[in-house]
Protein backbone atom coordinates (compact mmCIF):
# COMPACT_ATOMS: atom_id res chain seq x y z
CA UNK A 1 0.00 0.00 0.00
CA UNK A 2 1.18 3.55 -0.67
CA UNK A 3 -0.09 4.90 2.67
CA UNK A 4 -1.81 3.71 5.82
CA UNK A 5 -3.62 5.84 8.37
CA UNK A 6 -5.12 4.98 11.73
CA UNK A 7 -7.32 7.41 13.61
CA UNK A 8 -8.77 6.97 17.10
CA UNK A 9 -11.84 9.14 17.46
CA UNK A 10 -14.08 10.06 20.34
CA UNK A 11 -17.58 9.48 19.03
CA UNK A 12 -20.86 7.91 20.03
CA UNK A 13 -21.16 4.38 18.59
CA UNK A 14 -24.06 4.08 16.14
CA UNK A 15 -26.14 1.82 18.37
CA UNK A 16 -26.04 4.42 21.17
CA UNK A 17 -27.12 7.38 19.05
CA UNK A 18 -30.68 8.57 19.61
CA UNK A 19 -31.87 7.92 16.05
CA UNK A 20 -30.98 5.15 13.62
CA UNK A 21 -32.56 4.34 10.24
CA UNK A 22 -31.95 1.06 8.39
CA UNK A 23 -33.60 -0.48 5.32
CA UNK A 24 -33.52 -3.88 3.63
CA UNK A 25 -34.98 -4.92 0.30
CA UNK A 26 -35.93 -8.57 0.04
CA UNK A 27 -35.34 -11.18 -2.62
CA UNK A 28 -38.44 -10.27 -4.64
CA UNK A 29 -37.77 -6.53 -4.71
CA UNK A 30 -36.95 -5.27 -8.24
CA UNK A 31 -33.64 -3.72 -7.13
CA UNK A 32 -32.61 -6.92 -5.36
CA UNK A 33 -33.52 -8.94 -8.46
CA UNK A 34 -31.22 -6.79 -10.62
CA UNK A 35 -28.28 -7.08 -8.23
CA UNK A 36 -28.70 -10.81 -7.68
CA UNK A 37 -29.18 -11.74 -11.34
CA UNK A 38 -26.23 -9.66 -12.59
CA UNK A 39 -24.01 -11.19 -9.91
CA UNK A 40 -25.16 -14.68 -10.92
CA UNK A 41 -24.15 -13.96 -14.52
CA UNK A 42 -20.73 -12.65 -13.45
CA UNK A 43 -20.05 -15.73 -11.32
CA UNK A 44 -21.12 -18.07 -14.13
CA UNK A 45 -18.93 -16.27 -16.66
CA UNK A 46 -15.98 -16.27 -14.23
CA UNK A 47 -16.29 -20.02 -13.72
CA UNK A 48 -16.48 -20.65 -17.47
CA UNK A 49 -13.51 -18.39 -18.20
CA UNK A 50 -11.44 -20.22 -15.56
CA UNK A 51 -12.49 -23.61 -16.91
CA UNK A 52 -11.74 -22.75 -20.54
CA UNK A 53 -8.82 -20.34 -20.24
CA UNK A 54 -7.42 -20.80 -16.73
CA UNK A 55 -8.33 -17.33 -15.48
CA UNK A 56 -11.12 -14.79 -15.22
CA UNK A 57 -11.36 -12.68 -18.37
CA UNK A 58 -12.53 -9.10 -18.71
CA UNK A 59 -16.22 -8.56 -17.97
CA UNK A 60 -18.46 -6.23 -16.00
CA UNK A 61 -22.14 -7.23 -15.87
CA UNK A 62 -22.98 -4.32 -13.59
CA UNK A 63 -25.50 -2.40 -15.63
CA UNK A 64 -29.01 -3.80 -15.39
CA UNK A 65 -32.55 -2.50 -15.58
CA UNK A 66 -35.72 -4.41 -14.77
CA UNK A 67 -38.67 -2.73 -16.49
CA UNK A 68 -42.00 -3.39 -14.80
CA UNK A 69 -44.59 -5.33 -16.76
CA UNK A 70 -48.36 -5.20 -16.65
CA UNK A 71 -50.88 -7.52 -14.99
CA UNK A 72 -54.60 -7.86 -14.49
CA UNK A 73 -55.70 -8.96 -11.03
CA UNK A 74 -58.70 -9.31 -8.78
CA UNK A 75 -59.58 -11.38 -5.73
CA UNK A 76 -59.03 -15.03 -6.59
CA UNK A 77 -57.38 -14.49 -9.94
CA UNK A 78 -54.69 -12.71 -11.90
CA UNK A 79 -52.75 -12.89 -15.14
CA UNK A 80 -49.74 -11.30 -16.80
CA UNK A 81 -50.59 -9.04 -19.72
CA UNK A 82 -47.12 -7.67 -20.51
CA UNK A 83 -44.01 -9.43 -19.20
CA UNK A 84 -41.27 -7.74 -17.24
CA UNK A 85 -38.22 -6.83 -19.32
CA UNK A 86 -34.71 -7.34 -17.97
CA UNK A 87 -31.99 -5.40 -19.79
CA UNK A 88 -28.50 -6.84 -19.18
CA UNK A 89 -25.59 -4.54 -19.94
CA UNK A 90 -22.15 -3.59 -20.00
CA UNK A 91 -19.08 -5.54 -21.09
CA UNK A 92 -17.78 -9.10 -21.50
CA UNK A 93 -15.16 -11.14 -23.37
CA UNK A 94 -16.83 -12.94 -26.29
CA UNK A 95 -13.84 -14.73 -27.78
CA UNK A 96 -10.20 -15.66 -27.28
CA UNK A 97 -8.44 -16.38 -30.53
CA UNK A 98 -10.79 -18.59 -32.49
CA UNK A 99 -12.68 -19.82 -29.45
CA UNK A 100 -16.01 -18.07 -28.93
CA UNK A 101 -18.04 -17.80 -25.72
CA UNK A 102 -21.84 -17.79 -25.85
CA UNK A 103 -22.15 -14.85 -23.47
CA UNK A 104 -25.76 -14.13 -24.39
CA UNK A 105 -26.76 -17.77 -23.91
CA UNK A 106 -25.06 -17.90 -20.52
CA UNK A 107 -26.76 -14.68 -19.42
CA UNK A 108 -30.21 -15.95 -20.41
CA UNK A 109 -29.62 -19.32 -18.72
CA UNK A 110 -28.63 -17.51 -15.51
CA UNK A 111 -31.80 -15.40 -15.59
CA UNK A 112 -33.99 -18.47 -16.02
CA UNK A 113 -32.20 -20.39 -13.27
CA UNK A 114 -32.28 -17.50 -10.80
CA UNK A 115 -36.02 -16.89 -11.17
CA UNK A 116 -36.81 -20.59 -10.88
CA UNK A 117 -34.79 -20.85 -7.68
CA UNK A 118 -35.97 -17.64 -6.02
CA UNK A 119 -39.40 -16.55 -7.34
CA UNK A 120 -41.41 -19.71 -7.77
CA UNK A 121 -44.49 -18.06 -9.30
CA UNK A 122 -42.51 -16.42 -12.10
CA UNK A 123 -42.18 -18.41 -15.30
CA UNK A 124 -38.99 -16.84 -16.69
CA UNK A 125 -39.76 -17.94 -20.23
CA UNK A 126 -43.18 -16.28 -20.27
CA UNK A 127 -43.11 -13.60 -17.58
CA UNK A 128 -39.65 -12.13 -18.22
CA UNK A 129 -38.36 -10.78 -21.52
CA UNK A 130 -34.55 -10.74 -21.52
CA UNK A 131 -32.57 -8.29 -23.61
CA UNK A 132 -28.79 -8.76 -23.59
CA UNK A 133 -26.87 -5.66 -24.66
CA UNK A 134 -23.38 -6.74 -23.55
CA UNK A 135 -20.48 -5.61 -25.75
CA UNK A 136 -16.70 -6.22 -25.81
CA UNK A 137 -14.68 -4.05 -23.41
CA UNK A 138 -12.35 -1.16 -24.16
CA UNK A 139 -8.82 -1.90 -25.37
CA UNK A 140 -7.28 -0.29 -22.27
CA UNK A 141 -9.27 -2.37 -19.78
CA UNK A 142 -8.84 -5.58 -21.77
CA UNK A 143 -5.07 -4.98 -21.61
CA UNK A 144 -5.22 -5.42 -17.82
CA UNK A 145 -6.31 -9.03 -18.41
CA UNK A 146 -3.68 -9.72 -21.07
CA UNK A 147 -0.92 -9.15 -18.54
CA UNK A 148 -0.24 -12.51 -16.89
CA UNK A 149 0.25 -11.11 -13.39
CA UNK A 150 -1.18 -13.17 -10.51
CA UNK A 151 -2.59 -9.97 -9.08
CA UNK A 152 -4.39 -7.76 -11.59
CA UNK A 153 -4.16 -4.00 -11.74
CA UNK A 154 -7.10 -1.93 -10.54
CA UNK A 155 -9.35 -1.03 -13.43
CA UNK A 156 -10.52 2.21 -11.83
CA UNK A 157 -9.63 4.92 -9.35
CA UNK A 158 -12.31 4.41 -6.76
CA UNK A 159 -13.00 4.14 -3.05
CA UNK A 160 -15.03 1.94 -0.72
CA UNK A 161 -15.84 1.91 2.98
CA UNK A 162 -16.84 -0.88 5.35
CA UNK A 163 -17.68 -1.02 9.03
CA UNK A 164 -18.22 -3.32 11.99
CA UNK A 165 -20.01 -4.46 14.01
CA UNK A 166 -23.61 -4.45 12.81
CA UNK A 167 -25.88 -2.73 15.29
CA UNK A 168 -28.90 -4.48 16.84
CA UNK A 169 -31.10 -2.38 14.55
CA UNK A 170 -29.21 -3.43 11.42
CA UNK A 171 -29.40 -7.07 12.50
CA UNK A 172 -33.13 -6.81 13.29
CA UNK A 173 -34.01 -5.30 9.91
CA UNK A 174 -31.93 -7.92 8.08
CA UNK A 175 -33.37 -10.80 10.10
CA UNK A 176 -36.95 -9.56 9.69
CA UNK A 177 -36.76 -9.83 5.90
CA UNK A 178 -35.02 -13.19 6.11
CA UNK A 179 -37.77 -14.40 8.47
CA UNK A 180 -40.54 -13.34 6.08
CA UNK A 181 -38.82 -15.00 3.12
CA UNK A 182 -37.77 -18.14 4.97
CA UNK A 183 -38.96 -21.57 3.83
CA UNK A 184 -40.74 -22.08 7.15
CA UNK A 185 -42.67 -18.82 6.90
CA UNK A 186 -43.68 -19.44 3.28
CA UNK A 187 -44.88 -22.91 4.26
CA UNK A 188 -47.13 -21.37 6.92
CA UNK A 189 -48.16 -18.42 4.74
CA UNK A 190 -48.02 -19.60 1.10
CA UNK A 191 -50.27 -16.72 0.07
CA UNK A 192 -47.46 -14.17 0.65
CA UNK A 193 -45.04 -12.95 -2.00
CA UNK A 194 -41.27 -12.48 -1.88
CA UNK A 195 -41.13 -8.73 -2.51
CA UNK A 196 -40.45 -7.81 1.11
CA UNK A 197 -39.21 -4.40 2.18
CA UNK A 198 -38.36 -3.56 5.79
CA UNK A 199 -37.65 -0.06 7.08
CA UNK A 200 -36.37 0.23 10.62
CA UNK A 201 -36.43 3.41 12.69
CA UNK A 202 -34.95 3.29 16.16
CA UNK A 203 -35.46 6.09 18.64
CA UNK A 204 -33.40 5.41 21.73
CA UNK A 205 -34.43 1.91 22.86
CA UNK A 206 -37.62 1.69 20.82
CA UNK A 207 -37.62 0.13 17.36
CA UNK A 208 -40.27 0.82 14.73
CA UNK A 209 -40.46 -1.54 11.75
CA UNK A 210 -42.48 -0.70 8.65
CA UNK A 211 -42.96 -3.83 6.55
CA UNK A 212 -44.35 -4.20 3.04
CA UNK A 213 -45.10 -7.64 1.60
CA UNK A 214 -47.65 -8.54 -1.09
CA UNK A 215 -50.23 -11.29 -0.99
CA UNK A 216 -50.95 -13.50 -4.01
CA UNK A 217 -54.16 -12.53 -5.78
CA UNK A 218 -55.11 -16.08 -6.82
CA UNK A 219 -54.95 -17.22 -3.18
CA UNK A 220 -57.01 -14.38 -1.65
CA UNK A 221 -60.71 -14.72 -2.48
CA UNK A 222 -62.07 -11.53 -0.91
CA UNK A 223 -61.23 -8.33 0.93
CA UNK A 224 -62.36 -9.98 4.16
CA UNK A 225 -59.95 -12.87 3.67
CA UNK A 226 -57.13 -10.44 2.85
CA UNK A 227 -57.47 -8.58 6.13
CA UNK A 228 -57.85 -11.83 8.07
CA UNK A 229 -54.61 -13.15 6.57
CA UNK A 230 -52.93 -9.83 7.16
CA UNK A 231 -53.85 -10.06 10.84
CA UNK A 232 -52.30 -13.56 11.05
CA UNK A 233 -49.06 -12.35 9.45
CA UNK A 234 -48.91 -9.40 11.84
CA UNK A 235 -49.25 -11.81 14.78
CA UNK A 236 -46.31 -13.83 13.42
CA UNK A 237 -44.28 -10.65 13.03
CA UNK A 238 -45.03 -9.63 16.61
CA UNK A 239 -43.91 -13.05 17.84
CA UNK A 240 -40.68 -12.58 15.88
CA UNK A 241 -40.24 -9.13 17.42
CA UNK A 242 -40.44 -10.51 20.97
CA UNK A 243 -36.98 -12.01 20.48
CA UNK A 244 -35.41 -8.69 19.47
CA UNK A 245 -33.23 -6.86 22.03
CA UNK A 246 -35.26 -3.66 22.34
CA UNK A 247 -37.37 -2.19 25.09
CA UNK A 248 -40.27 -2.02 22.66
CA UNK A 249 -40.88 -2.96 19.02
CA UNK A 250 -43.73 -1.48 16.99
CA UNK A 251 -44.63 -3.03 13.63
CA UNK A 252 -46.65 -1.43 10.83
CA UNK A 253 -47.56 -3.78 7.99
CA UNK A 254 -48.81 -2.84 4.49
CA UNK A 255 -49.72 0.66 5.60
CA UNK A 256 -51.27 1.72 2.28
CA UNK A 257 -54.17 -0.71 2.79
CA UNK A 258 -57.65 0.76 3.22
CA UNK A 259 -60.62 -1.38 4.16
CA UNK A 260 -63.73 -0.84 2.08
CA UNK A 261 -61.83 0.00 -1.11
CA UNK A 262 -61.94 -3.57 -2.43
CA UNK A 263 -59.15 -4.52 -4.82
CA UNK A 264 -57.90 -0.92 -4.80
CA UNK A 265 -57.29 -0.94 -1.05
CA UNK A 266 -55.09 -4.01 -0.66
CA UNK A 267 -51.58 -5.10 -1.67
CA UNK A 268 -52.04 -8.00 -4.09
CA UNK A 269 -49.70 -9.28 -6.78
CA UNK A 270 -49.95 -12.03 -9.37
CA UNK A 271 -46.31 -13.16 -9.19
CA UNK A 272 -45.17 -12.01 -5.73
CA UNK A 273 -43.08 -9.08 -6.93
CA UNK A 274 -44.01 -5.47 -7.63
CA UNK A 275 -41.87 -5.69 -10.78
CA UNK A 276 -44.84 -7.38 -12.45
CA UNK A 277 -46.57 -4.02 -12.84
CA UNK A 278 -45.75 -1.34 -10.27
CA UNK A 279 -42.03 -0.87 -9.77
CA UNK A 280 -38.92 -1.13 -11.94
CA UNK A 281 -35.48 -2.04 -10.61
CA UNK A 282 -31.87 -1.09 -11.20
CA UNK A 283 -28.44 -2.38 -10.23
CA UNK A 284 -26.94 -0.47 -7.31
CA UNK A 285 -30.18 0.70 -5.72
CA UNK A 286 -30.56 -2.33 -3.47
CA UNK A 287 -28.82 -3.47 -0.30
CA UNK A 288 -25.14 -2.83 0.35
CA UNK A 289 -22.81 -5.83 0.40
CA UNK A 290 -23.52 -6.45 4.10
CA UNK A 291 -27.23 -6.86 3.37
CA UNK A 292 -28.66 -3.56 4.61
CA UNK A 293 -28.94 0.10 3.68
CA UNK A 294 -27.88 1.91 6.82
CA UNK A 295 -28.37 5.66 6.63
CA UNK A 296 -26.24 6.42 9.70
CA UNK A 297 -23.15 4.87 8.13
CA UNK A 298 -20.73 6.15 5.48
CA UNK A 299 -21.27 4.61 2.07
CA UNK A 300 -19.43 4.53 -1.26
CA UNK A 301 -20.95 5.10 -4.69
CA UNK A 302 -19.99 1.80 -6.34
CA UNK A 303 -22.41 -1.10 -6.86
CA UNK A 304 -20.63 -4.41 -6.31
CA UNK A 305 -23.06 -6.69 -8.14
CA UNK A 306 -21.91 -8.05 -11.49
CA UNK A 307 -18.47 -6.46 -11.51
CA UNK A 308 -15.54 -8.73 -12.34
CA UNK A 309 -13.91 -10.24 -9.24
CA UNK A 310 -10.23 -9.84 -10.06
CA UNK A 311 -9.66 -6.22 -11.08
CA UNK A 312 -12.80 -4.19 -10.39
CA UNK A 313 -12.23 -2.47 -7.08
CA UNK A 314 -15.92 -1.50 -6.99
CA UNK A 315 -16.57 -5.12 -6.03
CA UNK A 316 -13.29 -6.16 -4.42
CA UNK A 317 -12.82 -3.22 -2.08
CA UNK A 318 -16.52 -2.94 -1.25
CA UNK A 319 -16.62 -6.45 0.17
CA UNK A 320 -13.05 -6.43 1.50
CA UNK A 321 -13.51 -3.26 3.53
CA UNK A 322 -16.37 -4.85 5.49
CA UNK A 323 -14.41 -8.06 6.05
CA UNK A 324 -11.37 -6.09 7.24
CA UNK A 325 -13.49 -4.01 9.62
CA UNK A 326 -15.06 -7.17 11.07
CA UNK A 327 -11.65 -8.79 11.58
CA UNK A 328 -10.24 -5.70 13.28
CA UNK A 329 -13.27 -5.45 15.56
CA UNK A 330 -12.99 -9.10 16.59
CA UNK A 331 -9.22 -9.22 17.07
CA UNK A 332 -8.29 -5.85 18.55
CA UNK A 333 -9.28 -5.38 22.19
CA UNK A 334 -11.17 -2.29 23.29
CA UNK A 335 -12.81 -1.44 19.94
CA UNK A 336 -16.43 -0.27 20.02
CA UNK A 337 -16.73 0.45 16.31
CA UNK A 338 -14.40 0.40 13.31
CA UNK A 339 -14.49 1.87 9.80
CA UNK A 340 -12.16 0.97 6.93
CA UNK A 341 -11.68 3.07 3.79
CA UNK A 342 -9.87 1.63 0.74
CA UNK A 343 -8.76 3.86 -2.12
CA UNK A 344 -7.47 2.46 -5.41
CA UNK A 345 -5.55 4.04 -8.25
CA UNK A 346 -6.13 2.76 -11.75
CA UNK A 347 -3.16 0.70 -12.94
CA UNK A 348 -1.82 -0.14 -9.47
CA UNK A 349 -2.11 -3.80 -8.37
CA UNK A 350 -5.26 -4.34 -6.32
CA UNK A 351 -3.16 -5.50 -3.36
CA UNK A 352 -1.46 -2.10 -3.35
CA UNK A 353 -4.21 0.41 -2.53
CA UNK A 354 -3.36 4.07 -2.90
CA UNK A 355 -4.49 4.49 0.70
CA UNK A 356 -5.96 2.45 3.54
CA UNK A 357 -7.54 4.44 6.34
CA UNK A 358 -8.90 2.91 9.52
CA UNK A 359 -10.99 4.82 12.00
CA UNK A 360 -11.66 3.32 15.42
CA UNK A 361 -14.14 4.40 18.06
CA UNK A 362 -12.64 3.01 21.30
CA UNK A 363 -14.64 1.65 24.19
CA UNK A 364 -12.22 3.44 26.48
CA UNK A 365 -8.72 4.84 26.20
CA UNK A 366 -6.54 2.98 23.67
CA UNK A 367 -2.80 3.29 23.10
CA UNK A 368 -2.37 4.47 19.51
CA UNK A 369 0.98 2.75 19.00
CA UNK A 370 -0.27 -0.64 20.16
CA UNK A 371 -3.48 -0.46 18.16
CA UNK A 372 -1.70 0.76 15.03
CA UNK A 373 0.65 -2.20 15.10
CA UNK A 374 -2.19 -4.71 15.53
CA UNK A 375 -4.38 -3.12 12.85
CA UNK A 376 -1.52 -2.81 10.36
CA UNK A 377 -0.74 -6.50 10.82
CA UNK A 378 -4.37 -7.42 10.00
CA UNK A 379 -4.37 -5.12 6.96
CA UNK A 380 -1.17 -6.71 5.66
CA UNK A 381 -2.69 -10.18 6.08
CA UNK A 382 -5.60 -9.20 3.85
CA UNK A 383 -3.31 -7.69 1.20
CA UNK A 384 -1.14 -10.82 1.20
CA UNK A 385 -4.22 -12.99 0.73
CA UNK A 386 -5.65 -10.98 -2.18
CA UNK A 387 -5.26 -13.74 -4.77
CA UNK A 388 -7.12 -16.21 -2.58
CA UNK A 389 -9.83 -13.63 -1.88
CA UNK A 390 -10.47 -12.82 -5.54
CA UNK A 391 -10.76 -16.56 -6.15
CA UNK A 392 -13.53 -16.68 -3.54
CA UNK A 393 -15.27 -13.79 -5.28
CA UNK A 394 -15.02 -15.57 -8.64
CA UNK A 395 -16.74 -18.60 -7.11
CA UNK A 396 -19.53 -16.46 -5.67
CA UNK A 397 -18.63 -17.17 -2.03
CA UNK A 398 -19.36 -13.62 -0.81
CA UNK A 399 -22.89 -12.21 -1.17
CA UNK A 400 -23.32 -8.76 -2.65
CA UNK A 401 -26.91 -8.03 -1.64
List pLDDT tens digits, range 288-323: 999 999 999 999 989 999 999 999 999 999 999 999
Provide the pLDDT confidence category of residue 141 given band limits of 50, 70 and 90: low
Q: Which of 197, 232, 230 is nearest to 215 (CA)?
A: 230
Q: Which residues pair with 161 in a beta bridge?
A: 341
Q: What is the pLDDT of residue 144?
A: 59
Report the chain's mean pLDDT, rounded to a whole number: 95
Provide the pLDDT confidence category of residue 149 given band limits of 50, 70 and 90: confident
User: In this prediction, what percent of the chain has a pLDDT beyond 70?
Assistant: 97
58-83 average pLDDT score: 97
Q: Is the pTM of this model over 0.85?
A: yes
159-188 average pLDDT score: 98
Q: What is the pLDDT of residue 269?
A: 98
User: 271 φ, ψ to 5°?
Assistant: -110, -5
Q: What is the pLDDT of residue 353?
A: 96
Whether the per-residue pLDDT at 120 is higher than 90: the answer is: yes
51-57 average pLDDT score: 93
Tell me: the pLDDT tens digits for 83-117?
Answer: 999 999 999 999 998 999 999 999 999 999 999 99
Q: Which of 111, 116, 113, 102 is nearest to 48 (CA)?
A: 102
Domains annotated for the chain, with CATH where assigned, are 15-25+167-282 (3.30.300.340)
Whether the per-residue pLDDT at 395 is higher than 90: the answer is: yes
Tell me: the pLDDT tens digits for 212-260?
Answer: 999 999 999 999 999 999 999 999 999 999 999 999 999 999 999 999 9
Please give the Cα distance from 115 to 213 (Å, whole number). Answer: 18
Which residues touch 395 (CB under 8 Å, ≥6 apart)?
Answer: 43, 46, 47
Provide the pLDDT confidence category of residue 366 given band limits of 50, 70 and 90: confident
Q: Which residues pair with 64 in a beta bridge?
A: 88
Q: Which of 332, 351, 323, 6 is nearest to 149 (CA)?
A: 351
Q: Which of 282, 361, 285, 290 is nearest to 67 (CA)?
A: 282
Least confident segment among 97-101, 171-175, 376-380:
97-101
Q: What is the pLDDT of residue 2?
A: 74
Q: What is the pLDDT of residue 367?
A: 87
Amino acid sequence: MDSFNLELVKATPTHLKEVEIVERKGVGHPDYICDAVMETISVSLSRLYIKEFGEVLHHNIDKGLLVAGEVEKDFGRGRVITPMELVIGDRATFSVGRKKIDVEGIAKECVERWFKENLKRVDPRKDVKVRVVLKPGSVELQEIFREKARIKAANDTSAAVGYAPLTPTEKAVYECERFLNSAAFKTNFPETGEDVKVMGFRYREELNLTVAMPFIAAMIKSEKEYFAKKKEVLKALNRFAQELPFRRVNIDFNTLDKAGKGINGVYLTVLGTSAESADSGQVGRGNRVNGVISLNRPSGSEAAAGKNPVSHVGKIYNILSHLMAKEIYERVDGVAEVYVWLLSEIGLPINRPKNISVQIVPEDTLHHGRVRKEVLSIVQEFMAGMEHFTGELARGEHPVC
